[in-house]
Amino acid sequence: MSANQNPHPGQEVTATSSTSPERFEDPGVPAHKPRLTDTDPQAARRNERIVTIIFAISCLGAIASLVAYFAVRPDGTTEGTRLSTALLGVTMAISLLGIGVGAIHWAKSLMSDHEHVDERHELASPPEVRAVAVQHLADGAEDSGIARRGVLKGAAVSALALFPLTFAVPLISSVGGDWDVSKFRHTIWERNRRLAYDPSGRLIKASDLTVGSVAHVIPEASQEEMRSHEWITEKAKAVVLLVRLNPEDLRSDQSPEGETWSYDGIVAYSKICTHVGCPVALYEQQTHHLLCPCHQSTFDMADGAKVVFGPANRPLPQLPITVDDEGYLMAQDDFAEPVGPSYWERLK
Amino acid sequence: MSTDTSPSSTVEPPTTPAGKAADYLDQRTGVGVAVKEFARKVFPDHWSFMLGEMALFSFVVLLLTGVFLTMFFDPSMALIEYHGAGPESMQGQLMSVAFASTLDLSFEVRGGLLMRQIHHWAALVFMASIVVHMMRVFFTGAFRKPREINWLVGTVLMILGLAAGFSGYSLPDDVLSGNGLRITDGVVKSIPVIGSYTSYFLFGGEFPGEHIIPRLFTVHILLVPALILVLIGVHLFLMVLHKHTQYPGGGRTDKNVVGYPLFPVYIAKMGGNFFIVFGILALMGATMSINNVWNYGPYDPSPVGAGAQPDWYMLFLEGSLRLMPGYATEWVIFGYTLSLNVLIPAVVIPGLLFTFLFVYPFIEARVTGDKREHHVLDRPRNVPARTGLGVAFLTAFIILALAGSNDLIATHFGMSLNQITWAFRILFFAGPVFAYWVTKRICLGLQRKDRELVLHGHETGRIVRFANGEYIEVHRPLDDQERWLRVNYDAHRPLEIEPATDARGVKRPGYQKDKQWQKLSRFFFEDRVEPVTPAELAAAHAHGEHDEIEAAPRSPELVSGTENADREQ
Amino acid sequence: MKALAARRHHRAAPVVLLLLALLVTGGLYAVLAPSPATAETASTATDVEEGKRLFQANCATCHGPNAEGSPEAPSLVGVGAASVDFQVSTGRMPMQMTGPQAAEKPPQMDPEQTAQLAAYVASLGAGPAIPTDEQVDAALGDSANGALLFRTNCAMCHNAVGAGGALSEGKWAPPLYDVSERNIYQAMLTGPQSMPVFNDANLNPEEKRDIITYLVEQREGSAGGLSLGSLGPVSEGLWAWVVGLGLMIGAAVWIGAKSS
């Protein structure tokens, strides 16, 4: 830096703002240019009329809105609701826009457009005021004796620090239900629970599935069971996607023992994405790829549901399946690992 | 003015009804002082000053329509079988009372659907106008002293707007918003140590449970709006206290404010603008359908629709989740799982974006070393680094939002989803850098153009031939106002710091820190274009009116680092 | 009279006239354009013969002279008449060019030729037949059940109301607004291209019809006004910026401008 150019070379950390020795003069507020309405009384009267008419249109809009409300009753069809909504809204908009446009046109064309100048005052309080303020604070502190009475200060601070707990502890202890986060680990799948179509609840025979078909699956449950919050919460973990592949296309199961978790090319994987938990459901039968519509993680159903694209890191957990004596598909067991997104204690 | 209705008996008692009412009020509240202070308060006029008003007025519309909706909405997750006035496809379906009451208020309550649609459009426009307002404040430097605190208040308001929007979006308990909540749950679970417990904290147990809708309802209609109202109060109080900023121009200084009086001009313009904003929202609610929850259906954890996206203001988060590659991003440390594929896009990136907004005014104040109050706005070209950074920030935000819409881009432009994702992954890093560079070059170019205009005037197109046969084009000098606009700015220079050692060779404490700041300051102000000085203008005139701009390889007006003293001869 | 004449010379008059003319032309075309004939179902031995001839001429290059398939194209033995009718009547086959997915285009065969081709392919091996008119009659279905099934089985690719969506690597699930009821049924039954098969065990014929009823109901549009493509929050956000912010900023510029 060429220090000789710096107007304040002695200062510690300096920014130079005015560089030229002399600057241009402020020419001042530009002269007022009269509008047509300022010079021509006829134009002023015309604009007055325009504003009046706009306000009148607004009145008509409000009245039309009431008419529409009482005269056009929606008849329960899509068309009827659409008509009622449109009429009520458009008339409402006319009444509102009328006021807005009228008021602004009034302000622009008829109210004075001479510019005013207000002075600004420095925001900081003057030094003498500051001095008095500081003195007040000092006096107050002195009165209270806070500096001298250390134990009292500690007691007061402790009391203030503790009282929020009387509120926070009851709230927090109840707000999380039973706080039993180990529930993430299990679903209602268990040995011999049969697979059923979602949402009909019909059971699935292995022979029902043709190659290239997909089935969205829930655990078998009664209609009563399925009408409860407990069910919805369980379903949120238990939904499964079932596809049938050509056995020669099936490259691997997740099972360590080989092909014991699938049945004759039929594989079942958790539908809950291992990324952030969306239901992964876009099955492309030609490529055996399963795509999540939320963040586009792509899993290869023929290869242990491994991730082939997108933000997910882990394969989808596989549900081990087999068939019962009647040929219905059923689970061998629960998933071997927690379904859905990762969490801190997942592997504990 | 009827402010002289003081209680002292020397003043004649008012006779008109309005005068009597004013007298009554003033004797009990002293309102006269406020009227004297504010009735003719001056507001500068510019269209971009209405952007904040648009946000405020959409919020008022949100409150009005929101009250209408609460009369009919029932935030209960109890399950019922629906039989009502809603569409045929919803009859007999199992759904929560929240979803059913949303159908009822849309189809049974006359005007209910209109109010719902106005409410939702107003929410989208509320966030959009906040963003545009912030852009205006940022690019014109309206966050500078004394308004830094108000910038912080505004940024918090923007975040609260996100919270209000998100909590409201989830209330109808439909499939789309339910999947949004599920993603939220997944993101929350990824937080180290407390993730699982935070999820329980939100949902009162496992997702989705039966508590989330009532909880969000309280957040949406009480907690967040109350906070927003309080902060809007602070925001407007500070605005009145500071008096409004103004654009540069003749007679506009840091010591005054030039414009029109509140009463009557601004009352009419602001009031009128409220009705225009409300009217436009009503028109949108009347003719454009929004969030047809009966299309998505009541929440069920199994289905999801194509085009599963949040409202636009959350799209950047969605996009950042979509762009993050999952490969090798889940770490297991001592048996505990750390999901960087979720944490980085959903926590770190928004954290960085918001941090930039919060700290920028203080960084800029530090690198300029400027401690003065500023009430005259900057023209964006006159602070190229800031304008470039702002555009780079917006570029990152827009790329993330587009990445959040990549499936729609794929279908509408016939492209591959995977290739788009890869393109955005690269653009997210390259785009902002490129945008910064281009914007800064454009700003410097515009500044040089300004210099040229000031020094040489407008081209008139009039060609004159001299007696000696020389042809010149006549240039018309700028008038005072035009010139003032182009020369009245500060070209900040990089900070200068004291040397590392003093005269006796003793190391100065704090030198390293100063040096860091100086580096940052150089990044901001190394390249700059100084405003024309009267001396330069006089020199240019001495060359004669017809002086053409030299085609020097390196333009002398662009100063790098130090002042280039030997200007054109 | 004078005012009227002045109005006629308004700057925007040519534009308005042009728009009107376009609207009228488009409307007339929509009314007068020939409607597609309905497919015929009866097939005879001559149909099979004729179909074979058509197959050799149009399809054998890829699918092989006896429809046994090739590295480029699958075998058609056992795909059934439903599959052929779907692929050919929507114009997907014969395929124009190889790409991520065969696109819909104007059908290359008339309904009679399509039926003949279908009869030929059906004669090669047993497969799903073309559904009857009753099986695809939207008036007979239950749209509530259809909505439920569509949501679970179809919406993730085709969008909640059938507006279509993206698949991986440039493939897509097409919008269903203009797809005929028969073609919707056939698609579920045969699983064309990326689409999985929904056989009668998974979605029985009544359930398939319920889905058709739901989809036909969506063609009425939205109760709230313009549907904006039914694409969800992204298109809503776009319109909020374009229309909402556009109009409001326009108004703000007017408010801030000096009156002349």
Tokens of B282: 């009503």
Residues of chain A with pLDDT under 70: 1-21, 256-258
User: What does the pLDDT read at residue C41?
Assistant: 47
Of B194-198, B442-446, B468-472, C31-35, give the lowest mean pLDDT range. Answer: C31-35
Contact between B326 and A307 using a beta-carbon 8 Å cutoff: yes
Q: Which residues 6+ apart lie within 8 Å of B499 measured at CB?
A: B508, B511
Domain A185-331 is in which class? mainly beta
Say how many residues make up chain C: 260
C contact residues 64-103, partner B, Cβ 8 Å cutoff: 100
Which subunits count as partners of chain A given 3+ CB pairs below 8 Å? Answer: B, C
Over its C-alpha atoms, chain B yields an Rg (Å, rounded) of 30
Measured N-to-C along each axis, helices B112-139 and C246-256 cross at an angle, to the nearest 10 degrees, of 60
Q: What ipTM was estimated for this complex? A: 0.90
Question: Cβ contact (<8 Å) for B128 and C255?
Answer: no
H or E segment at B559?
A: strand B558-560
> Which of A282, A287, A299, A300 should we substitute to test contact with C (largest number of C Cβ atoms within 10 Å)?
A282
Distances (CA, A) of A128 to A134, B171, B419, B420: 10, 55, 68, 65
When CB atoms are compared, the residue of B89, B304, B404 closest to C156 is B304
- Residue-wise pLDDT tens digits, B228-256: 999 999 999 999 999 999 999 999 999 99
Residue A61, both tokens: 């809009």
φ/ψ of residue A203, rounded to 5: -80, 160
pLDDT of residue C58: 87
Residues of chain B in contact with residue C164, where contact means CB-CB under 8 angstroms, are: 306, 411
Alpha-helical regions (H) of chain A: 36-39, 41-71, 78-109, 127-144, 150-175, 229-238
Q: Does any CB of chain B come closer than 8 Å to the CB of residue A168? A: no
Is the pLDDT confidence value at B95 over 60? yes
- Lowest mean pLDDT: which of B64-78, B175-189, B307-321, C14-28? C14-28
- d(Cα A191, Cα B422) in Å, to the nearest integer? 43
pLDDT in tens, C91-104: 898 887 777 888 88
The yes-or-no verdict on residue B478 having pLDDT over 70 is yes
CATH class of the domain defined by C41-130: mainly alpha
Helix (H, G, I), strand (E, B), or coil: what is residue C52? Answer: helix
Chain A residue with Cα closest to B515: A13
Question: Which residues in B538-563 are b (16+ Cβ under 10 Å) and which e?
Answer: eebeeeeeebeeeeeeebebbbeeeb
User: According to CATH, what is the number of the domain B50-247+259-301+310-368?
Assistant: 1.20.810.10
Q: How far does A327 lie from chain C, in Å, by closest CA?
A: 14
Could you tell me how far CA C73 lies from the centroid of its own chain?
23
Q: Which one, of B106, B123, B128, lies nearest residue B60 by Cα? A: B123
Beta-carbon contacts of B111 under 8 Å, excluding residues fewer than 6 positions away, are A69, A84, A85, A88
| pLDDT number for residue A180 | 93
Cβ B416–C169 below 8 Å, yes or no?
yes
The answer to whether the Cβ–Cβ distance between B535 and A123 falls below 8 Å is no
Pinpoint the residues of chain B covered by CATH 1.20.810.10: 50-247+259-301+310-368
Quote the pLDDT of residue C258. 85
Q: How many CB atoms lie within 10 A of CB B503?
A: 6
Residue among A199, A205, A285 minimizing CB distance to C196? A285
Q: Please answer whether residues A322 and A263 qualify as being in contact, where contact means their C-beta atoms are separated by less than 8 angstroms.
A: yes
- Show which of residues 499-558 on chain B sit within 8 Å of chain C, judged by CB atoms: none
CB B166 within 8 A of CB C233: no
Q: 10 Å Cβ neighbour count for B248?
A: 17
What's the CA angle centered on B323, arms B317 and B326, to 5 degrees?
Answer: 110
Q: Quick: pLDDT tens for B459-475.
A: 888 898 888 988 888 88
Q: Which two tokens stand for residue C143?
A: 């749209």
Query: Which residue is closest to C158 within chain A, CA to CA?
Result: A282
Spatial contact of B269 and A94, defined as CB atoms under 8 Å apart: no
Contacts of A112 in chain C (CB under 8 A): none
Query: B363 in the Ramachandran plot: left (φ > 0), alpha (ψ -120 to 50) or beta?
Result: alpha
Identify the closest residue of chain B to C254 by CA–CA distance: B47
CA angle B335, B341, B342 (to 5 degrees): 95
Tens digit of each residue's pLDDT (9 = 90 or more) over B425-449? 999 999 999 999 999 999 999 999 9
| DSSP state at residue A298 | E
A55 touches chain B (CB under 8 A): no
Distance (Å) from the alpha carbon of A205 to chain C's nearest alpha carbon: 9
8 Å CB contact between B66 and B165: no
For residue C128, give the nearest of C87, C68, C171, C159 by alpha carbon. Answer: C87
Place of tokens 């629970």: A193
Helix (H, G, I), strand (E, B) or coil at A16: coil
Burial (CB count within 10 angstroms: exposed 0-12, middle 13-18, buried 19+), residue B398: middle
The 8-class DSSP code of residue A242 comes to E
Q: What is the pLDDT of residue C29?
A: 65
Dist CA B441 CA B381 (whole Å): 10
Q: How far is B2 from chain A (nearest CA, A)?
A: 20
Q: What is residue B69's predicted lDDT score, i.e. its pLDDT?
A: 97
A201 at C interface, C-beta within 8 A: no
H helix intervals, B108-194: 112-139, 148-170, 175-189
Instruction: Tell me the C-alpha distance between C208 and C211, whole Å.
Output: 5
Q: Considering the entire predicted model, what is its pTM?
A: 0.90
Which C residues in the span 216-245 are in contact with B, Cβ-Cβ below 8 Å?
Answer: 217-218, 222-228, 230-241, 243-245
What are the structure tokens assigned to B510, written together?
Answer: 């704090």
Distance CA B29, CA B37 (A): 15
pLDDT for residue B5:
46
Q: Cα distance from A205 to chain B (closest Cα, Å)?
A: 21
Q: Would you call B98 exposed, middle or buried from its count of C-beta atoms within 10 A (0-12, 13-18, 19+)?
A: buried
Q: Using pLDDT thresholds of 50, 70 and 90, give the confidence band for residue C69.
A: confident
Task: Locate C208 and state its tokens.
Answer: 């398939």
Average pLDDT over residues B470-485: 90
pLDDT of residue C42: 53
Residue A90 sits at the chain C interface (C-beta within 8 Å) = no
Tell whether B98 is within 8 A of chain A (Cβ): no
- pLDDT > 90: what percent of chain C? 45
Of residues C171, C198, C202, nearest to A284 (C-beta): C171
Q: Check CB contact of A233 with chain C, cutoff 8 Å.
A: no
Chains that touch C (3 or more CB pairs under 8 A): A, B
Contact A177 B209 (CB under 8 A): yes
Q: Which two tokens stand for residue B248?
A: 């540069």
Query: How high is the pLDDT of residue C245?
Result: 97
Residue A190 phi, psi dihedral angles, 5° rounding: -155, 170
The per-residue pLDDT for B548 is: 44
Q: Give, as one character, the DSSP assignment of residue A210.
A: P
Percent helix / strand / coil, chain B, rounded to 5: 60, 10, 30
Give the residue on C whose Cα is nearest the Cα of B290: C236
To the nearest whole angstrom, how far is the Cα of B522 from the nearest Cα of chain A? 11
Coil vs helix vs strand at A322: strand
How far apart are the C-alpha atoms of B547 and B527, rounded to whole Å?
26
What are the residue ranges spanned by the domains of chain C? 41-130, 131-221
Surface of A (136-165) touching B: CB under 8 A? none
Task: Give the residue-averaged pLDDT of C22-34.
Answer: 65
Q: Which fold has domain C131-221?
A: Cytochrome Bc1 Complex; Chain D, domain 2 (1.10.760)
| Residue recorded with tokens 């297991």 | B332
Terminal CA-to-CA distance of chain B, rounded, Å?
Answer: 61
In tens, the pLDDT along B125-139 reads 999 999 999 999 999
Asked if the domains at C41-130 and C131-221 fall in one CATH topology, the answer is yes
Q: Which ranges constitute the DSSP H helices of C90-204? A: 111-124, 143-153, 155-158, 181-190
Residues in chain A: 348
Cβ atoms of B203 and B154 closer than 8 Å: no
Task: Annotate A155-185 with DSSP letters as a single string.
Answer: HHHHHHHHHHHHHHHHHHHHHTTT--GGGGG
**What confidence tens digit (pLDDT) does each residue in C151-186 have?**
999 999 999 999 999 998 889 999 999 999 999 999
CB contact under 8 A, A181 and B200: yes
B308 — contact with chain C (CB < 8 Å)? Answer: yes
Contact A88, B286 (CB under 8 A): yes
**Can you give the pLDDT at residue A11?**
37
Mutate to test the interface with C, among B405, B411, B419 (most CBs of C within 10 A): B411
pLDDT tens-digit series, residues C194-204: 999 998 989 99
d(CA C185, CA A313): 37
pLDDT of C256 higher than 80:
yes
Count of all residues that appear for chain B in the document: 569
- Is the CB of C224 less than 8 angstroms away from the CB of A291? no
Residue C201 and residue A208: Cβ atoms within 8 Å?
yes
Collect all residues of chain B within an 8 Å Cβ-Cβ radius of residue A84. 110-111
Q: Do A26 and B484 touch (CB under 8 A)?
A: yes
Amino acid B547: pLDDT: 44
The structure tokens listed for B140 are 């014109």
DSSP, collapsed to helix, strand or coil, labels residue B258 as strand
Chain C residue with Cα closest to A293:
C156
B529, B447 Cβ separation under 8 angstroms: yes
Contact check, Cβ <8 Å, A19/B530: yes
Instruction: Give all strands (DSSP E) within C160-246, no chain letters.
Output: 165-166, 172-173
Alpha carbon of B298: minimum distance to chain A alpha carbons (Å): 12
Which residue of chain A has the CA closest to C220?
Answer: A78
Q: How many CA atoms lie within 13 A of A12 on its CB side?
A: 8
pLDDT at A74: 84
User: Which one of A8, A85, A230, A347 would you mutate to disrupt binding with B, by most B Cβ within 10 Å of its Cβ?
Assistant: A85
Neighbours of C41 (CB within 10 A): 15
Chain B neighbors of C249, CB-CB under 8 A? 47, 51, 132
Flag if B89 and C257 touch (Cβ within 8 Å). no
- Is residue B129 within 8 angstroms of chain C, CB to CB? yes
* Token pair 């005929």: residue: C180
Closest alpha carbon within chain B to C169:
B416
pLDDT in tens, C178-196: 999 999 999 999 989 899 9
When the pLDDT of each residue in chain B is averaged and rounded to a whole number, the result is 90
B208 touches chain A (CB under 8 A): yes
- Chain A residues 7-66 within an 8 A CB cutoff of chain C: 35-37
pLDDT tens by residue, B5-51: 444 556 778 889 999 999 999 999 999 999 998 999 999 999 999 99
Radius of gyration of chain A (CA): 38
Give me the residues of A, 256-295, that contact B with CB < 8 A: 271, 273, 275-279, 281-282, 293-295
pLDDT at C183: 94
Contacts of A284 in chain C (CB under 8 A): 167-168, 171, 194
